[in-house]
Structure 1
Protein backbone atom coordinates (compact mmCIF):
# COMPACT_ATOMS: atom_id res chain seq x y z
CA UNK A 1 0.00 0.00 0.00
CA UNK A 2 1.43 3.36 -1.07
CA UNK A 3 1.05 6.35 1.27
CA UNK A 4 1.82 9.97 0.45
CA UNK A 5 3.63 11.75 3.26
CA UNK A 6 5.31 15.05 4.13
CA UNK A 7 8.38 15.38 6.36
CA UNK A 8 8.20 18.44 8.66
CA UNK A 9 9.79 19.80 11.81
CA UNK A 10 9.10 22.37 14.49
CA UNK A 11 12.36 23.65 16.01
CA UNK A 12 14.03 20.36 15.12
CA UNK A 13 11.29 18.15 16.58
CA UNK A 14 10.60 16.17 13.39
CA UNK A 15 7.49 14.48 12.04
CA UNK A 16 6.10 12.35 9.25
CA UNK A 17 2.72 13.89 8.44
CA UNK A 18 -0.01 11.86 6.74
CA UNK A 19 -3.21 13.05 5.05
CA UNK A 20 -5.91 10.68 6.26
CA UNK A 21 -8.66 12.78 4.67
CA UNK A 22 -7.84 12.11 1.00
CA UNK A 23 -6.21 8.69 1.44
CA UNK A 24 -7.06 5.66 3.55
CA UNK A 25 -4.67 5.41 6.50
CA UNK A 26 -4.96 2.55 8.97
CA UNK A 27 -2.27 3.25 11.54
CA UNK A 28 -0.84 0.46 13.69
CA UNK A 29 2.05 0.49 16.18
CA UNK A 30 4.22 -1.45 13.70
CA UNK A 31 3.51 1.01 10.90
CA UNK A 32 4.25 3.99 13.13
CA UNK A 33 7.53 2.43 14.25
CA UNK A 34 8.48 1.63 10.66
CA UNK A 35 7.86 5.20 9.50
CA UNK A 36 9.76 6.68 12.47
CA UNK A 37 12.77 4.34 12.31
CA UNK A 38 15.83 6.44 11.47
CA UNK A 39 17.76 3.65 9.74
CA UNK A 40 15.03 1.48 8.17
CA UNK A 41 12.26 4.07 7.67
CA UNK A 42 11.80 7.77 6.97
CA UNK A 43 12.86 8.85 10.46
CA UNK A 44 10.88 10.98 12.90
CA UNK A 45 10.19 11.72 16.55
CA UNK A 46 6.44 11.38 15.95
CA UNK A 47 3.94 10.46 13.24
CA UNK A 48 1.08 12.95 12.72
CA UNK A 49 -2.19 11.83 11.17
CA UNK A 50 -4.78 14.32 9.89
CA UNK A 51 -8.33 12.95 9.68
CA UNK A 52 -11.91 14.13 9.36
CA UNK A 53 -13.23 15.16 12.78
CA UNK A 54 -15.70 13.44 15.07
CA UNK A 55 -16.44 16.65 17.03
CA UNK A 56 -18.98 18.96 15.31
CA UNK A 57 -16.98 22.12 16.16
CA UNK A 58 -13.64 20.85 14.85
CA UNK A 59 -12.18 21.35 11.37
CA UNK A 60 -9.99 18.25 11.56
CA UNK A 61 -9.00 15.43 13.87
CA UNK A 62 -5.29 15.35 14.70
CA UNK A 63 -3.60 12.20 16.06
CA UNK A 64 -0.03 11.69 17.29
CA UNK A 65 2.01 8.47 17.41
CA UNK A 66 5.39 8.33 19.12
CA UNK A 67 8.41 6.67 17.58
CA UNK A 68 7.74 3.58 19.73
CA UNK A 69 4.32 3.19 18.08
CA UNK A 70 2.19 4.37 21.00
CA UNK A 71 -0.56 6.95 20.44
CA UNK A 72 -0.32 10.00 22.71
CA UNK A 73 -2.56 12.90 23.66
CA UNK A 74 -0.86 16.08 22.43
CA UNK A 75 2.25 17.49 20.74
CA UNK A 76 2.76 21.25 20.60
CA UNK A 77 5.41 21.30 17.87
CA UNK A 78 3.35 18.79 15.94
CA UNK A 79 0.27 20.97 16.28
CA UNK A 80 2.07 23.84 14.58
CA UNK A 81 3.17 21.54 11.76
CA UNK A 82 -0.38 20.20 11.52
CA UNK A 83 -1.91 23.60 10.72
CA UNK A 84 0.88 24.46 8.25
CA UNK A 85 0.34 21.07 6.55
CA UNK A 86 -3.43 21.57 6.27
CA UNK A 87 -2.96 24.96 4.58
CA UNK A 88 -0.08 23.92 2.30
CA UNK A 89 -1.93 20.78 1.17
CA UNK A 90 -5.07 22.76 0.39
CA UNK A 91 -7.22 20.83 2.87
CA UNK A 92 -8.60 24.09 4.30
CA UNK A 93 -8.15 27.86 4.07
CA UNK A 94 -9.58 28.52 7.51
CA UNK A 95 -7.37 30.49 9.87
CA UNK A 96 -7.51 30.02 12.78
CA UNK A 97 -8.30 26.31 12.69
CA UNK A 98 -9.86 24.15 15.38
CA UNK A 99 -8.40 20.68 15.79
CA UNK A 100 -9.80 17.75 17.70
CA UNK A 101 -7.28 15.86 19.82
CA UNK A 102 -8.16 12.96 22.08
CA UNK A 103 -8.60 15.24 25.11
CA UNK A 104 -10.62 18.05 23.49
CA UNK A 105 -10.25 20.95 21.04
CA UNK A 106 -7.29 23.25 20.37
CA UNK A 107 -7.14 26.44 18.29
CA UNK A 108 -4.25 27.16 15.90
CA UNK A 109 -3.21 30.32 14.02
CA UNK A 110 -0.94 30.31 10.95
CA UNK A 111 0.65 33.78 10.91
CA UNK A 112 1.92 35.68 7.88
CA UNK A 113 5.46 35.93 9.32
CA UNK A 114 5.98 32.16 9.03
CA UNK A 115 5.26 31.31 12.66
CA UNK A 116 2.35 29.40 14.13
CA UNK A 117 0.67 29.91 17.49
CA UNK A 118 -1.36 27.30 19.32
CA UNK A 119 -3.88 27.67 22.11
CA UNK A 120 -2.69 24.70 24.13
CA UNK A 121 -5.68 23.95 26.34
CA UNK A 122 -6.12 23.39 30.06
CA UNK A 123 -3.28 22.95 32.56
CA UNK A 124 -3.66 20.73 35.64
CA UNK A 125 -1.27 20.06 38.49
CA UNK A 126 -2.48 17.24 40.76
CA UNK A 127 -0.67 13.88 40.94
CA UNK A 128 -3.70 12.08 39.52
CA UNK A 129 -3.66 14.43 36.51
CA UNK A 130 -0.38 12.86 35.38
CA UNK A 131 -1.17 9.35 36.70
CA UNK A 132 1.45 9.75 39.46
CA UNK A 133 1.41 7.58 42.56
CA UNK A 134 2.45 10.02 45.32
CA UNK A 135 1.71 7.68 48.24
CA UNK A 136 4.44 7.88 50.89
CA UNK A 137 6.50 10.52 49.04
CA UNK A 138 7.53 13.83 50.60
CA UNK A 139 6.50 17.12 49.04
CA UNK A 140 7.00 20.81 49.71
CA UNK A 141 5.04 23.89 48.73
CA UNK A 142 7.04 26.35 46.62
CA UNK A 143 5.21 29.46 45.53
CA UNK A 144 1.93 28.31 43.98
CA UNK A 145 3.45 24.94 43.09
CA UNK A 146 4.21 21.68 44.88
CA UNK A 147 7.54 19.91 44.45
CA UNK A 148 7.48 16.12 44.74
CA UNK A 149 10.61 14.19 45.77
CA UNK A 150 11.00 11.23 43.43
CA UNK A 151 13.61 8.64 44.52
CA UNK A 152 16.08 7.68 41.78
CA UNK A 153 18.47 4.76 42.20
CA UNK A 154 22.03 5.98 42.68
CA UNK A 155 21.04 9.66 42.53
CA UNK A 156 19.56 12.29 44.87
CA UNK A 157 15.78 12.55 44.79
CA UNK A 158 14.48 14.56 41.84
CA UNK A 159 12.34 17.54 42.88
CA UNK A 160 9.51 17.53 40.36
CA UNK A 161 6.75 19.90 39.34
CA UNK A 162 3.82 17.98 37.87
CA UNK A 163 2.01 19.53 34.90
CA UNK A 164 -0.66 17.99 32.66
CA UNK A 165 -1.22 19.67 29.29
CA UNK A 166 -3.32 16.89 27.80
CA UNK A 167 -0.18 14.76 28.16
CA UNK A 168 1.83 14.34 31.41
CA UNK A 169 5.01 16.25 32.31
CA UNK A 170 7.45 16.22 35.20
CA UNK A 171 9.74 19.27 35.30
CA UNK A 172 12.78 19.84 37.44
CA UNK A 173 15.08 22.84 37.70
CA UNK A 174 18.78 22.24 37.01
CA UNK A 175 21.79 24.54 37.14
CA UNK A 176 23.12 23.78 33.65
CA UNK A 177 21.15 21.80 31.06
CA UNK A 178 24.26 21.14 28.99
CA UNK A 179 26.08 19.42 31.84
CA UNK A 180 23.11 17.71 33.45
CA UNK A 181 23.00 13.92 32.70
CA UNK A 182 19.70 14.01 30.81
CA UNK A 183 20.59 10.82 28.92
CA UNK A 184 20.83 8.95 32.25
CA UNK A 185 18.19 10.64 34.43
CA UNK A 186 15.62 11.18 31.66
CA UNK A 187 14.83 7.49 31.10
CA UNK A 188 14.72 6.86 34.86
CA UNK A 189 11.98 9.47 35.31
CA UNK A 190 10.13 8.72 32.04
CA UNK A 191 9.67 5.05 32.95
CA UNK A 192 9.56 5.35 36.75
CA UNK A 193 6.93 2.95 38.17
CA UNK A 194 5.34 5.87 40.06
CA UNK A 195 4.16 7.22 36.69
CA UNK A 196 1.53 4.70 35.62
CA UNK A 197 1.38 5.96 32.02
CA UNK A 198 5.04 7.08 31.85
CA UNK A 199 5.87 10.79 31.67
CA UNK A 200 7.73 13.44 29.69
CA UNK A 201 10.75 14.49 31.76
CA UNK A 202 11.77 18.15 31.47
CA UNK A 203 15.03 19.72 32.65
CA UNK A 204 14.82 23.51 32.99
CA UNK A 205 17.60 26.05 33.50
CA UNK A 206 16.36 29.52 34.46
CA UNK A 207 18.35 32.28 32.69
CA UNK A 208 16.25 35.28 33.78
CA UNK A 209 12.61 35.96 34.60
CA UNK A 210 11.56 35.71 30.96
CA UNK A 211 14.05 33.14 29.64
CA UNK A 212 14.82 29.47 30.21
CA UNK A 213 16.88 26.76 28.55
CA UNK A 214 15.23 23.37 28.27
CA UNK A 215 15.87 19.74 27.42
CA UNK A 216 13.09 17.14 27.39
CA UNK A 217 13.26 13.36 27.44
CA UNK A 218 9.96 12.51 25.78
CA UNK A 219 7.76 9.56 26.60
CA UNK A 220 8.20 6.98 23.85
CA UNK A 221 10.61 9.08 21.77
CA UNK A 222 13.69 9.77 23.91
CA UNK A 223 15.35 13.18 24.01
CA UNK A 224 14.15 15.41 21.17
CA UNK A 225 15.56 18.70 19.92
CA UNK A 226 12.39 20.45 21.08
CA UNK A 227 9.12 19.56 22.81
CA UNK A 228 6.23 22.00 22.53
CA UNK A 229 4.11 20.73 25.41
CA UNK A 230 7.35 20.33 27.39
CA UNK A 231 8.19 23.99 26.78
CA UNK A 232 4.72 24.94 28.00
CA UNK A 233 5.00 22.71 31.06
CA UNK A 234 8.39 24.16 32.00
CA UNK A 235 7.25 27.76 31.56
CA UNK A 236 4.09 27.16 33.61
CA UNK A 237 6.06 25.36 36.34
CA UNK A 238 8.58 28.20 36.50
CA UNK A 239 5.82 30.79 36.79
CA UNK A 240 4.07 28.82 39.54
CA UNK A 241 7.38 28.42 41.39
CA UNK A 242 7.84 32.21 41.35
CA UNK A 243 10.93 32.02 39.14
CA UNK A 244 9.46 33.32 35.86
CA UNK A 245 7.05 35.89 34.45
CA UNK A 246 4.96 35.49 31.29
CA UNK A 247 5.81 35.52 28.42
CA UNK A 248 8.70 33.07 28.56
CA UNK A 249 11.27 32.51 25.82
CA UNK A 250 12.16 28.81 25.85
CA UNK A 251 15.50 27.97 24.24
CA UNK A 252 15.57 24.35 23.13
CA UNK A 253 18.38 22.61 21.27
CA UNK A 254 16.34 22.97 18.08
CA UNK A 255 15.50 26.66 18.48
CA UNK A 256 13.38 29.12 20.50
CA UNK A 257 9.69 28.81 21.41
CA UNK A 258 7.52 31.44 23.09
CA UNK A 259 5.04 30.56 25.84
CA UNK A 260 2.47 32.93 27.36
CA UNK A 261 0.31 31.95 30.35
CA UNK A 262 -1.99 34.15 32.42
CA UNK A 263 -2.97 31.45 34.89
CA UNK A 264 -5.77 30.26 32.64
CA UNK A 265 -5.05 30.64 28.92
CA UNK A 266 -1.88 28.98 27.61
CA UNK A 267 -0.46 29.87 24.20
CA UNK A 268 2.71 28.72 22.47
CA UNK A 269 4.24 30.06 19.26
CA UNK A 270 7.16 28.99 17.11
CA UNK A 271 8.23 27.78 13.66
CA UNK A 272 6.79 25.00 11.48
CA UNK A 273 8.89 23.94 8.50
CA UNK A 274 8.21 21.62 5.56
CA UNK A 275 11.31 19.63 4.55
CA UNK A 276 10.16 17.36 1.71
CA UNK A 277 7.30 15.18 0.48
CA UNK A 278 7.28 11.68 -0.94
CA UNK A 279 5.63 8.28 -1.16
CA UNK A 280 6.25 5.16 0.87
CA UNK A 281 5.23 1.52 0.49
CA UNK A 282 4.16 1.04 4.09
CA UNK A 283 3.81 -2.75 3.97
CA UNK A 284 7.31 -3.13 2.53
CA UNK A 285 8.65 -0.74 5.17
CA UNK A 286 7.15 -2.83 7.98
CA UNK A 287 8.76 -5.96 6.53
CA UNK A 288 12.17 -4.28 6.70
CA UNK A 289 11.90 -3.53 10.43
CA UNK A 290 14.50 -5.27 12.61
CA UNK A 291 12.95 -8.17 14.55
CA UNK A 292 13.39 -6.35 17.88
CA UNK A 293 11.04 -3.62 16.61
CA UNK A 294 8.28 -5.99 15.50
CA UNK A 295 5.54 -6.85 18.02
CA UNK A 296 4.99 -10.57 18.62
CA UNK A 297 1.72 -11.99 17.21
Structure 2
Protein backbone atom coordinates (compact mmCIF):
# COMPACT_ATOMS: atom_id res chain seq x y z
CA UNK A 1 0.00 0.00 0.00
CA UNK A 2 1.43 3.35 -1.04
CA UNK A 3 0.84 6.22 1.35
CA UNK A 4 1.82 9.77 2.18
CA UNK A 5 2.25 11.06 5.70
CA UNK A 6 0.94 14.60 6.19
CA UNK A 7 0.46 16.89 9.14
CA UNK A 8 -1.56 19.94 10.03
CA UNK A 9 -0.31 21.78 13.13
CA UNK A 10 1.45 18.55 14.13
CA UNK A 11 -1.72 16.44 13.90
CA UNK A 12 -0.26 13.69 11.68
CA UNK A 13 -2.06 10.97 9.73
CA UNK A 14 -1.20 8.36 7.17
CA UNK A 15 -3.08 9.22 3.95
CA UNK A 16 -3.91 6.81 1.16
CA UNK A 17 -4.90 7.96 -2.33
CA UNK A 18 -7.99 5.85 -2.98
CA UNK A 19 -8.32 7.30 -6.45
CA UNK A 20 -5.48 4.82 -7.14
CA UNK A 21 -5.42 2.38 -4.20
CA UNK A 22 -7.97 0.04 -2.61
CA UNK A 23 -7.88 -0.38 1.15
CA UNK A 24 -9.50 -3.41 2.78
CA UNK A 25 -10.13 -3.48 6.54
CA UNK A 26 -9.20 0.18 7.14
CA UNK A 27 -9.85 -0.12 10.89
CA UNK A 28 -7.22 -2.85 11.23
CA UNK A 29 -4.79 -0.97 9.01
CA UNK A 30 -5.29 2.21 11.04
CA UNK A 31 -4.14 0.41 14.19
CA UNK A 32 -1.07 -1.02 12.45
CA UNK A 33 0.13 2.12 10.66
CA UNK A 34 -0.50 4.38 13.66
CA UNK A 35 1.86 2.47 15.96
CA UNK A 36 4.88 4.75 16.47
CA UNK A 37 7.23 1.83 17.17
CA UNK A 38 6.13 -0.93 14.79
CA UNK A 39 4.16 1.03 12.18
CA UNK A 40 4.52 4.28 10.30
CA UNK A 41 3.55 6.36 13.32
CA UNK A 42 0.49 8.61 13.21
CA UNK A 43 -2.69 9.78 14.90
CA UNK A 44 -4.68 7.57 12.52
CA UNK A 45 -5.46 6.71 8.92
CA UNK A 46 -7.27 8.91 6.38
CA UNK A 47 -8.46 7.75 2.98
CA UNK A 48 -8.69 10.28 0.14
CA UNK A 49 -11.57 9.03 -2.00
CA UNK A 50 -13.79 9.94 -4.95
CA UNK A 51 -17.26 11.14 -3.98
CA UNK A 52 -20.68 10.94 -5.60
CA UNK A 53 -21.93 14.03 -3.77
CA UNK A 54 -18.85 16.28 -3.47
CA UNK A 55 -15.54 16.96 -5.22
CA UNK A 56 -13.57 14.69 -2.88
CA UNK A 57 -14.25 12.49 0.15
CA UNK A 58 -12.40 12.11 3.44
CA UNK A 59 -12.77 8.79 5.30
CA UNK A 60 -10.90 8.83 8.64
CA UNK A 61 -9.98 6.27 11.29
CA UNK A 62 -8.46 6.95 14.69
CA UNK A 63 -5.33 5.29 16.02
CA UNK A 64 -7.42 2.70 17.87
CA UNK A 65 -9.25 1.74 14.67
CA UNK A 66 -12.49 3.54 15.49
CA UNK A 67 -14.05 5.55 12.71
CA UNK A 68 -13.92 9.31 13.11
CA UNK A 69 -16.71 11.62 12.05
CA UNK A 70 -14.60 14.66 11.27
CA UNK A 71 -11.04 15.93 11.52
CA UNK A 72 -10.31 19.58 10.79
CA UNK A 73 -6.56 19.14 10.37
CA UNK A 74 -7.20 16.05 8.28
CA UNK A 75 -9.63 17.97 6.07
CA UNK A 76 -6.95 20.57 5.33
CA UNK A 77 -4.46 17.84 4.40
CA UNK A 78 -6.98 16.09 2.16
CA UNK A 79 -7.75 19.46 0.54
CA UNK A 80 -4.07 20.15 -0.11
CA UNK A 81 -3.47 16.70 -1.57
CA UNK A 82 -6.56 16.86 -3.80
CA UNK A 83 -5.65 20.34 -5.04
CA UNK A 84 -1.94 19.63 -5.57
CA UNK A 85 -2.70 16.39 -7.46
CA UNK A 86 -5.37 17.87 -9.69
CA UNK A 87 -8.34 15.94 -8.29
CA UNK A 88 -10.09 19.27 -7.86
CA UNK A 89 -9.89 21.99 -10.49
CA UNK A 90 -10.85 25.07 -8.50
CA UNK A 91 -9.62 26.91 -5.43
CA UNK A 92 -13.17 26.52 -4.05
CA UNK A 93 -14.54 23.00 -3.73
CA UNK A 94 -16.55 20.62 -1.56
CA UNK A 95 -15.49 17.70 0.63
CA UNK A 96 -17.67 14.81 1.79
CA UNK A 97 -17.13 13.75 5.41
CA UNK A 98 -19.07 11.62 7.88
CA UNK A 99 -20.11 14.92 9.46
CA UNK A 100 -21.57 16.27 6.21
CA UNK A 101 -20.31 18.35 3.30
CA UNK A 102 -17.54 20.84 4.08
CA UNK A 103 -16.70 23.84 1.92
CA UNK A 104 -13.04 24.47 1.15
CA UNK A 105 -11.12 27.48 -0.09
CA UNK A 106 -7.45 27.08 -1.00
CA UNK A 107 -4.90 29.89 -0.95
CA UNK A 108 -2.26 28.68 -3.43
CA UNK A 109 1.40 29.61 -3.76
CA UNK A 110 3.40 28.61 -6.84
CA UNK A 111 0.58 26.33 -7.96
CA UNK A 112 0.35 24.42 -4.67
CA UNK A 113 -2.05 24.83 -1.76
CA UNK A 114 -0.41 26.79 1.07
CA UNK A 115 -3.23 27.90 3.40
CA UNK A 116 -6.54 26.08 3.47
CA UNK A 117 -9.78 27.55 4.76
CA UNK A 118 -12.50 25.14 5.85
CA UNK A 119 -16.09 26.15 6.51
CA UNK A 120 -16.74 23.84 9.45
CA UNK A 121 -20.45 24.65 9.58
CA UNK A 122 -22.42 25.40 12.72
CA UNK A 123 -21.67 24.25 16.23
CA UNK A 124 -24.16 23.46 19.00
CA UNK A 125 -23.78 23.81 22.76
CA UNK A 126 -24.63 20.40 24.23
CA UNK A 127 -24.34 21.03 27.97
CA UNK A 128 -25.44 23.40 30.66
CA UNK A 129 -23.37 26.56 30.54
CA UNK A 130 -21.21 25.40 32.23
CA UNK A 131 -21.90 21.85 33.42
CA UNK A 132 -20.20 20.27 36.43
CA UNK A 133 -19.02 16.66 36.62
CA UNK A 134 -16.65 14.64 38.80
CA UNK A 135 -13.42 13.58 37.10
CA UNK A 136 -11.39 11.11 39.14
CA UNK A 137 -13.00 12.46 42.31
CA UNK A 138 -12.49 16.15 41.42
CA UNK A 139 -15.26 18.54 40.37
CA UNK A 140 -14.68 20.01 36.91
CA UNK A 141 -16.66 22.45 34.78
CA UNK A 142 -16.95 22.06 31.03
CA UNK A 143 -18.88 23.42 28.06
CA UNK A 144 -20.11 20.72 25.69
CA UNK A 145 -19.91 21.48 21.97
CA UNK A 146 -20.91 19.42 18.96
CA UNK A 147 -19.29 20.38 15.66
CA UNK A 148 -19.96 17.13 13.83
CA UNK A 149 -18.21 15.28 16.64
CA UNK A 150 -18.49 15.72 20.44
CA UNK A 151 -16.24 17.96 22.53
CA UNK A 152 -15.97 19.01 26.15
CA UNK A 153 -14.08 22.26 26.75
CA UNK A 154 -12.42 22.87 30.13
CA UNK A 155 -10.69 26.08 31.26
CA UNK A 156 -7.56 26.50 33.36
CA UNK A 157 -6.48 29.78 34.92
CA UNK A 158 -2.80 29.84 33.98
CA UNK A 159 -0.54 28.79 31.13
CA UNK A 160 1.70 27.03 33.63
CA UNK A 161 -1.18 24.83 34.82
CA UNK A 162 -2.03 24.02 31.22
CA UNK A 163 1.53 22.98 30.43
CA UNK A 164 1.85 20.95 33.63
CA UNK A 165 -1.29 18.85 33.15
CA UNK A 166 -0.41 15.15 33.10
CA UNK A 167 -2.83 14.13 30.35
CA UNK A 168 -1.21 10.74 29.94
CA UNK A 169 -2.37 9.97 33.48
CA UNK A 170 -5.82 11.57 33.50
CA UNK A 171 -6.86 11.87 29.85
CA UNK A 172 -8.86 8.65 29.73
CA UNK A 173 -10.90 9.73 32.76
CA UNK A 174 -12.17 12.66 30.69
CA UNK A 175 -12.62 10.71 27.45
CA UNK A 176 -14.51 7.78 28.98
CA UNK A 177 -16.55 9.51 31.68
CA UNK A 178 -20.06 8.09 32.03
CA UNK A 179 -21.47 11.48 31.05
CA UNK A 180 -20.22 10.72 27.51
CA UNK A 181 -21.43 7.25 26.50
CA UNK A 182 -19.87 7.59 23.03
CA UNK A 183 -16.66 9.00 24.55
CA UNK A 184 -15.61 12.60 23.93
CA UNK A 185 -12.78 14.83 22.74
CA UNK A 186 -11.53 16.93 25.66
CA UNK A 187 -9.95 20.37 25.24
CA UNK A 188 -8.10 22.26 27.97
CA UNK A 189 -7.95 26.02 27.43
CA UNK A 190 -6.08 29.01 28.81
CA UNK A 191 -7.38 32.40 27.67
CA UNK A 192 -4.46 34.79 27.20
CA UNK A 193 -6.50 37.70 25.84
CA UNK A 194 -9.44 38.35 23.54
CA UNK A 195 -7.51 37.31 20.44
CA UNK A 196 -5.39 34.39 21.70
CA UNK A 197 -6.18 31.15 23.50
CA UNK A 198 -3.89 28.22 24.28
CA UNK A 199 -5.08 24.63 24.00
CA UNK A 200 -4.14 21.04 24.74
CA UNK A 201 -6.33 18.20 23.59
CA UNK A 202 -7.07 14.58 24.44
CA UNK A 203 -8.78 13.04 21.41
CA UNK A 204 -11.10 10.08 21.77
CA UNK A 205 -9.48 7.06 20.18
CA UNK A 206 -6.05 8.67 19.84
CA UNK A 207 -5.01 10.16 23.20
CA UNK A 208 -3.15 13.46 23.40
CA UNK A 209 -2.30 14.88 19.99
CA UNK A 210 -0.35 17.98 19.02
CA UNK A 211 -3.47 19.54 17.52
CA UNK A 212 -7.14 18.98 16.79
CA UNK A 213 -8.90 21.15 14.23
CA UNK A 214 -12.44 20.41 15.38
CA UNK A 215 -11.24 20.85 18.96
CA UNK A 216 -9.82 24.28 18.14
CA UNK A 217 -13.14 25.23 16.54
CA UNK A 218 -15.15 23.92 19.50
CA UNK A 219 -12.91 25.72 21.99
CA UNK A 220 -13.03 29.00 20.09
CA UNK A 221 -16.82 28.71 19.75
CA UNK A 222 -17.29 28.02 23.48
CA UNK A 223 -15.00 30.92 24.42
CA UNK A 224 -16.78 33.30 22.03
CA UNK A 225 -20.14 32.27 23.48
CA UNK A 226 -18.75 32.87 26.98
CA UNK A 227 -17.93 36.40 25.85
CA UNK A 228 -14.25 35.95 26.68
CA UNK A 229 -12.76 36.40 23.20
CA UNK A 230 -13.47 38.15 19.91
CA UNK A 231 -15.20 36.45 16.97
CA UNK A 232 -11.79 35.91 15.36
CA UNK A 233 -9.24 34.20 17.56
CA UNK A 234 -5.89 32.45 17.18
CA UNK A 235 -5.69 29.06 18.86
CA UNK A 236 -2.16 28.14 19.92
CA UNK A 237 -1.68 24.36 19.97
CA UNK A 238 1.37 22.25 20.77
CA UNK A 239 1.94 21.67 17.04
CA UNK A 240 1.20 25.15 15.71
CA UNK A 241 -1.48 27.80 15.36
CA UNK A 242 -4.94 27.84 13.80
CA UNK A 243 -7.08 30.88 13.07
CA UNK A 244 -10.74 30.38 13.93
CA UNK A 245 -13.54 32.83 13.19
CA UNK A 246 -17.30 32.90 13.65
CA UNK A 247 -19.27 34.56 10.87
CA UNK A 248 -23.08 34.44 10.70
CA UNK A 249 -23.02 31.42 13.04
CA UNK A 250 -20.65 29.56 10.67
CA UNK A 251 -17.23 28.52 11.97
CA UNK A 252 -14.21 28.97 9.70
CA UNK A 253 -10.79 27.41 10.24
CA UNK A 254 -7.62 28.57 8.46
CA UNK A 255 -4.21 26.93 8.59
CA UNK A 256 -1.49 25.15 6.68
CA UNK A 257 -1.13 21.49 5.74
CA UNK A 258 2.22 19.90 4.88
CA UNK A 259 3.72 16.70 3.50
CA UNK A 260 6.09 14.78 5.75
CA UNK A 261 7.14 11.82 3.57
CA UNK A 262 5.84 9.17 1.19
CA UNK A 263 6.31 5.41 1.46
CA UNK A 264 5.01 1.95 0.80
CA UNK A 265 4.06 -0.69 3.36
CA UNK A 266 3.11 -4.35 3.06
CA UNK A 267 0.62 -6.17 5.30
Q: TM-score, normalised by structure 1?
A: 0.84
1:95-244 to 2 correspondences below 5 Å? 95-113=91-109, 114-127=114-127, 139=128, 146-155=129-138, 157-175=139-157, 176=159, 177-244=162-229
1:263 and 1:126, CA in 2 relative to 1: closer, same or farther beyond 3 A? farther
Q: Distance in 2 between matches of 1:195 and 1:151?
A: 12
Does the 8 Å CA contact 2:56/2:82 hold for their aligned counterparts?
Answer: no
Partner in structure 2 of residue 13 of structure 1 = 11
Aligned residues: 260
Does the 8 Å CA contact 1:214/1:231 hold for their aligned counterparts?
Answer: yes
Q: Deviations over 1:89-111 (max 9, x none)?
A: 33222221201111210011221
Does the 8 Å CA contact 2:186/2:202 hold for their aligned counterparts?
Answer: yes
Out of 73, 85, 91, the residue aligned to residue 69 of structure 2 is: 73
Q: Shift of residue 71 of structure 1? A: 0.5
Q: Distance in 2 between matches of 1:94 and 1:265?
A: 22
Partner in structure 2 of residue 293 of structure 1 = none
Does the 8 Å CA contact 1:174/1:180 hold for their aligned counterparts?
Answer: no
Q: Shift of residue 229 of structure 1? A: 0.5
Partner in structure 1 of residue 27 of structure 2 = 29
Secondary structure of the corresponding residue to residue 108 of structure 2: coil
Does the 8 Å CA contact 1:66/1:220 hold for their aligned counterparts?
Answer: yes
Does the 8 Å CA contact 2:33/2:44 hold for their aligned counterparts?
Answer: no
Q: Distance in 2 between matches of 1:60 and 1:7?
A: 18
Q: Shift of residue 263 of structure 1? A: 5.2
Does the 8 Å CA contact 1:122/1:165 hold for their aligned counterparts?
Answer: yes
Out of 42, 49, 74, the residue aligned to residue 40 of structure 2 is: 42
Partner in structure 1 of residue 84 of structure 2 = 88
Over alpha carbons, which structure has the higher Rg?
1
Q: Distance in 1 between matches of 2:4 and 2:18?
A: 12
Regions of 4+ moved over 4 Å: none
The answer to whether the aligner puts 1:267 opposite 2:263 as a matched pair is: no
Q: Distance in 2 between matches of 1:111 and 1:64?
A: 24
Structure 1 gaps, min length 5 = 128-138, 140-145, 284-297
Does the 8 Å CA contact 2:44/2:206 hold for their aligned counterparts?
Answer: yes
Q: Distance in 2 between matches of 1:267 and 1:226?
A: 16
**Range moving further from structure 2, 27-36 or 64-73:** 27-36
Secondary structure of the corresponding residue to residue 178 of structure 1: helix
Partner in structure 2 of residue 143 of structure 1 = none
Larger strand proportion of the pair:
2
Q: Deviations over 1:151-182 (max 9, x none)?
A: 11232x11010101101100011123112333
